[in-house]
Structure 1
Amino acid sequence: MNIVVVLNKPAGITSHDAVQAVKKAFKVRKAGHAGTLDPIATGVLLVCLNEATKITGYLSDMDKGYLMTIKLGENTDTYDSEGAVISTVKDYSVTKEKIERVLGNFMGEIDQIPPMYSAIKLSGKPLYELARKGIEVERKPRRIRIDRLELVSYNDPFVTLSVECSKGTYVRSLCNDIGAALATGAHVTGLVRTRIGRFRVEDSALINELPQKTDCIYTIDNALAGFTEALLDGDNFRRAKNGNPIKIINLLNDYRRALIDLITPEGRDIYVRLKDLKGNLFGIGKVVKDSIKIERLFN
């Protein structure tokens, strides 16, 4: 059972606990997830079982969508309602128009400083371990991309925002930065991940619906349907199965042409689903110059 389950994680549990629940429901030994959700958050969590754990990195790299509710006037140490209030602003004047103007400043590629309460490691230790000891360290800004940041509603002090963003975006940090720009402070009070890539919360399952609900289950091949594919014959198949790179020029005609058409001057990452002549998926490759480098092989 090598599958990806689109789970609607409930609030109040960690992503790890959610994975364990899915693992138990399907009676499997190996499970992992793509894209951690904080305990406060609900929504799409991709849970990968058995061989599908090999593709968590590819799934985590997909763009994400969120519906985020923030509270103005209070900063917390965790940037969400689970933390302790560390500062307040009682007298402020904020309108919908002001919020929309501020949101415009966060569109496109921006530098973002991740929160102390995060799993980012410093000298092998997660930052949240330092934060719990009251230690704050300097964090390097990370380049992220905000594709959409729209005001859904404003009922002071609560603001609800729709966010579409790249991998690596901390929406708690985004909330904190918006609060700073409004000069009110802010923290997250509610968060729903509405999608990862094409996997949407509307198509997800609750824990108690598993394993009976099947329309939330994807094979590895279907989960990575956004990757181009290449069927490998004879020598190419044997080389790939041994982990050796494949020359693009040696691919079968249709797949060679399709792959060449995808290559751009800016050199964006191109991943390939590798299949045998019967169409069975056996690996994932990445285009490197004129070859396909083998990244993952499935048993």
Structure 2
Amino acid sequence: MKWAIAMVDGILNVLKPSGMTSHDVIGYLRRVLQTKKIGHSGTLDPDAAGVLPVFIGAATRLLEYSGEETKSYRVELRFGVKTDTADDSGNVIETSVVFRPEQEKLVAVLKKFTGPMMQIPPMYSAVRHEGKKLYQLARAGITIERESRPITIYKLDLVYQADDYLVLDIECSKGTFIRTLCEDIAESLGMCGTVSFLLRTRSGKFVLNDAKTLEEISKAPFDHILPIEGAVEHFPELMLTDKQALRISQGVVTSISGVAEGKYRLKTASGLFIGIGSANNGMVKADKVINPFTQM
């Protein structure tokens, strides 16, 4: 097949179905959009469904900034079994008695797992070790020690409680493994546990209600593409004069008084999104120029 150059630059808010890997989704969209320049933010497990932001064309240059955003999930935690993958797709490696946790105990445990904490990534994950993904090692029967990483659980709400499972709504920082969190919650309640359902409801500004199915996208591939700037709306906006915009687009570090240190969305007075820039000691430089300003 002869691939076309991407005729559009932007973002698709994709509703990933369960049963497909995130890479499968990208492969499908490559064929639909006839382009190779495409990537996704925030891998979803094959059995998980929900929001998967997909970046097309020039938008792929902003992928490195997209993973910083808060994510939200709805998850079903099933008690009584523990699997090697921490979800229903794995092999059962441990079982336990099942009982309905007392309300006071449950509230205390959920509170315990709210806030900043350290988490060890599971072996069945895309985290890399010496060039290989952990799940590749796990499938080969290899287990290695993993360093814990800082995460934050901003919200952990009980949606429904049954005798043998819980439904939870979780809002968390990047890098959080929901499967590991659920295993730890079950253990604190005195049982084994595994994820039996996982749905990502939000990734940054991209929400489930606005996500499009692959079928919807295939019928009208270019109708659902969102502006590039949406990928970095978590950065504050810095309005530039035409002179400043021209200099920064040309790679010149430019003095702008009164600008606090940090990263910004760089825009002109006319609304042109130039790209991402950094400010330090009143000096602003471009980190990624997407739409260079070329004339005054």
Report the CA distance between 1:225 and its aligned residue. 3.2
Report the CA distance between 1:129 and its aligned residue. 1.3
Residues 1:155 and 1:245: Cα distance change in structure 2 (over 3 Å)? same
Query: Normalising by the residue count of structure 2, what TM-score does the alignment of the two structures yield?
Result: 0.88
Residues 3-34 of structure 1, C-alpha deviation per residue, up to 9 Å, x if partnerless?
A: 11101100000001112222332333310001
- Residue of structure 2 in register with 1:298 after alignment: 290
Structure 2 SS opposite 1:13: coil
- Residue of structure 1 in register with 2:180 after alignment: 173
Residues 123-144 of structure 1, C-alpha deviation per residue, up to 9 Å, x if partnerless?
A: 1211111111221111111111
Residues 272-297 of structure 1, C-alpha deviation per residue, up to 9 Å, x if partnerless?
A: 12234543222211233433342212
- Residue of structure 1 in register with 2:199 after alignment: 192
**Sequence identity, in percent?**
38
Moved more, 4-13 or 48-57: 48-57
CA distance in 2, matches of 1:56, 1:72: 37
Residues 1:20 and 1:96: Cα distance change in structure 2 (over 3 Å)? farther
- Residue of structure 1 in register with 2:57 after alignment: 50
CA distance in 1, matches of 2:73, 2:18: 14
Structure 2 SS opposite 1:210: helix
Structure 1 SS opposite 2:226: strand
- Residue of structure 1 in register with 2:256 after alignment: 248
- Residue of structure 2 in register with 1:164 after alignment: 171
CA distance in 1, matches of 2:181, 2:53: 23
CA distance in 1, matches of 2:274, 2:145: 43
Moved more, 231-240 or 60-69: 231-240
Query: Normalising by the residue count of structure 1, what TM-score does the alignment of the two structures yield?
Result: 0.87
Residues 1:278 and 1:118: Cα distance change in structure 2 (over 3 Å)? same
Does structure 1 retain, via aligned residues, the 8 Å contact 2:205–2:230? no
Does structure 2 retain, via aligned residues, the 8 Å contact 1:272–1:285? yes
- Residue of structure 1 in register with 2:33 after alignment: 26
Matched letter for residue 264 of structure 2: V
Moved more, 47-56 or 276-285: 276-285
- Residue of structure 1 in register with 2:149 after alignment: 142
Matched letter for residue 241 of structure 1: S
Moved more, 42-51 or 284-293: 284-293
CA distance in 1, matches of 2:53, 2:45: 14
Does structure 1 retain, via aligned residues, the 8 Å contact 2:114–2:153? yes
Count of aligned pairs: 283
- Residue of structure 2 in register with 1:119 after alignment: 126
Moved more, 56-65 or 278-287: 278-287
1:70-85 alignment runs, 5 A limit: 70-85=77-92
Determine which of 64, 69, 86 is the counterpart of 1:62.
69
Does structure 2 retain, via aligned residues, the 8 Å contact 1:5–1:218? yes
CA distance in 1, matches of 2:92, 2:122: 15
Report the CA distance between 1:96 and its aligned residue. 3.8
Does structure 2 retain, via aligned residues, the 8 Å contact 1:96–1:154? no
Report the CA distance between 1:193 and its aligned residue. 0.3
RMSD between superposed Cα atoms in Å: 2.1
CA distance in 1, matches of 2:42, 2:156: 20
Structure 2 SS opposite 1:273: strand
- Residue of structure 1 in register with 2:263 after alignment: 271
CA distance in 2, matches of 1:214, 1:100: 46
Residues 130-159 of structure 1, C-alpha deviation per residue, up to 9 Å, x if partnerless?
A: 111221111111111111001111222121
Matched letter for residue 23 of structure 1: R
Residues 1:23 and 1:177: Cα distance change in structure 2 (over 3 Å)? same
Does structure 1 retain, via aligned residues, the 8 Å contact 2:32–2:221? no
Structure 2 SS opposite 1:130: helix
CA distance in 1, matches of 2:53, 2:97: 40
Does structure 1 retain, via aligned residues, the 8 Å contact 2:275–2:289? yes
Does structure 2 retain, via aligned residues, the 8 Å contact 1:67–1:161? yes
Residues 179-225 of structure 1, C-alpha deviation per residue, up to 9 Å, x if partnerless?
A: 21112011111100000122110011000001538785310124433
Report the CA distance between 1:69 and its aligned residue. 0.5
Structure 1 SS opposite 2:72: strand
